[in-house]
Amino acid sequence: MNDTLVADAPVAPRYSRTVADLPCPKGHPYAGNALQLAGRQMHQKFTAWVREHGPMFRLEVFGHPLVIVSDAATVHSLLRERPDGFRRAGGLKQVMSELNVGGVITAEGEAWRKQRKLVMSGLNVEVIRNFFPTMIAMTERMFDRWAAMLAEGKAVDLKRELKAMALDIIVGLAMGHDIDAVNHEGDPLQRDIDAIFLRLGQRTTAAFPYWRYFRLPVDRAAERSSADIEAKVKEFIRDTRERMDRQRKPGNMLEAMIVAADDPESGFTDEELVSNAILSVIGGEDTTANSIAWMIHLLAQNPQAAAALRAEVDAVLDGDTLPRDWERMKLFTYLEAAHSETQRLRSVAPYVGLTANADCVVADTFIPKNTTVIVATAGEGLDEAQFPDREAFRPERWIPGQRPKREEDPSRKLFPFGGGSRLCPGRFLALTEIKMVVAMIVRNFDLELDAKAPPPKEVLNFFMAPSSLPVRLKPRVRR
């Protein structure tokens, strides 16, 4: 397949087919495939269609075509063309804006470049390293809580605990506040974030945008949650500005963003500061918690992989209960491989919607301006030809010295953090948190599947989450 992408070329680009020539699943005479796209398992329908129709096909939604692309080389080309060649899909951007989720994730062009600089100032390695001691303390606090609960014969609700921990870390890093959601069940901020994600997931997979014509009680509740989150973030910003010592280095994301925004030459507005602060809190909770949850479930299902990971963690921690040395975080080779394999099988952001800014050619197909193109960030992760024994959880695929010689490097076949210049700015924080929490878990606890519980379903709540996490923790008995 020719994966060359040409946009705004001075001469007419060459192509051999148009969007109308692409295969298309059978749909309704009027609605097309719109009704098939509704629901919280929409991503699974995409995956099934890829297997049936190939790496590039189209859908029809009320007479408007959508192009789906899963070929890794083509996906890579498309992601590199953002934001100049492609922008975020307008429908998704509108849904997010309606719930006050904006900032760098919805910005385009020069506005995106400016805001990207603002966000990266708060998520660079120095800021995360300065926050590392706080992350250690929060992880140790959660470990102590779990140990006490198990000693009392109580079960640990891992799904709830991981989301609370992720919220503690992102609010601590982003806002400089310790809300201790782990020990305070029913935290209002966590409840509001969960409500926003639920509405985002339902609205992005709805066949008809009814809320733009009439609002149900759940829509009004989501708007209240959005307003409450904004008020809380503004309170964090106000408190931080009052206590900041401009002479010391920023110790958290908000302090770094305030320093950048207060530079008279930056051009940043208070509105951009607030919107990106809100985005950091909302976006930093669900993705990381879901990634850890899926990894824990896959490890519990695969004892051999869990044993290999435990051996690495034991060697790296050298007798300690959790990672405390910043430099040793680089040594978790198998843990990073387990994360990559988890994203291959259970990508938390399986698809990204783009819109063409101009007429262009994608994989030998003419794409008119303003056409929506949906790319699979999971790439070819579930393609048997690319990943033999595709359903198996094998972190060794990602370790050069351990994968079979006949298998190619898989890192260019998946895009868990996106790609190109719009690569997720929080990826380093996410990986640091994942390594910290998972290392603590496998070091101190045994994982046991709940045989009586049904397996978790993949639920698309904006990000792809497990419906449950049927894994029990047992105190580890060290020999």
Banded pLDDT at 246 (limits 50, 70, 90): low
Average pLDDT over residues 337-346: 94
Name the pLDDT band for 2 (thresholds 50, 70, 90): very low
Spatial CA neighbour of 432 closest among 175, 134, 180, 135: 135
How confident is the model at residue 250, as a pLDDT? Answer: 67
Q: State the Cα angle at 89 between 24 and 412, rounded to 5°.
A: 75
* pLDDT higher than 60, residue 6: no
CA angle 416, 417, 420 (to 5 degrees): 120
Distances (CA, A) of 326 to 13, 131, 316, 330: 50, 11, 12, 8
Q: What mean pLDDT do residues 277-297 have?
A: 86
- Please report which confidence band the pLDDT of residue 284 belongs to, taking 50, 70 and 90 as the band edges: confident
pTM: 0.88
Amino acid type, 364: D
Across 169-177, average pLDDT: 84
pLDDT confidence band for 248 (50 / 70 / 90): low
Torsion of Cα atoms, 341 then 344 then 348 then 350, to 10°: 170
- pLDDT, one tens digit per residue, over 353-409 is 899 999 999 999 999 999 999 998 877 888 888 888 999 999 999 998 877 776 677
- Prior bond of 323 cis (ω within 30°): no
Average of per-residue pLDDT across 328-338: 96
Question: If pLDDT is split at 50, 70 and 90, which confidence band does 136 have?
Answer: very high
User: Can you tell me which residue has the tokens 């809190």?
Assistant: 281
Rounded to an integer, the average pLDDT of 445-455 is: 91
Q: Report the pLDDT value the prediction gives residue 357, as an integer from 0 to 100.
A: 94
* pLDDT category of residue 336 using cuts at 50, 70 and 90: very high
What is the Cα–Cα distance from 23 to 255, expressed in whole angstroms? 51
pLDDT of residue 21: 96
Supply the pLDDT for residue 410: 80
Identify the pLDDT of residue 139. Answer: 96
Q: Which residue has the tokens 């001075």?
A: 10
Check pLDDT > 90 for residue 291. yes
Residue 142 has pLDDT above 80, yes or no: yes
* Structural domains of the chain ordered from first start: 1-100+350-379 (3.30.43.20), 103-335+419-479 (1.10.630.10)
CB-based contact 323:316 (threshold 8 Å) = yes
Give residue for tokens 């898989």: 410
| pLDDT score of 443 more than 50 | yes
**Separation CA 344–CA 257 (nearest Å):** 33
Q: Is the pLDDT of residue 114 over 90?
A: no
DSSP bridge partners of 354? 88, 373
> Does 149 have pLDDT greater than 80?
yes
Q: Please report which residue ranges of 214-348 form alpha helices under DSSP H.
A: 217-243, 253-261, 270-301, 303-317, 333-345
Q: What is the pLDDT of residues 180-227, one digit of tens each?
A: 989 988 778 888 888 888 888 788 777 788 999 999 999 999 899 989
d(CA 240, CA 167) in angstroms, rounded, equals 18
pLDDT of residue 44: 83
Angle at 258 between CA 255 and CA 261, to 5 degrees: 155
Of 22 and 422, more confident: 22
Q: Which amino acid is at 33?
A: N
Look at residue 247 in the predicted model and tell me its pLDDT. 47
What pLDDT digit, counting tens, does each position of 87-108 carry?
Answer: 988 777 888 888 888 888 888 8
- Which 3 state secondary structure label does DSSP give 356? strand
- pLDDT at 1 (0 to 100): 42
Q: What is the mean pLDDT of residues 220-249?
A: 81
Amino acid at 457: K
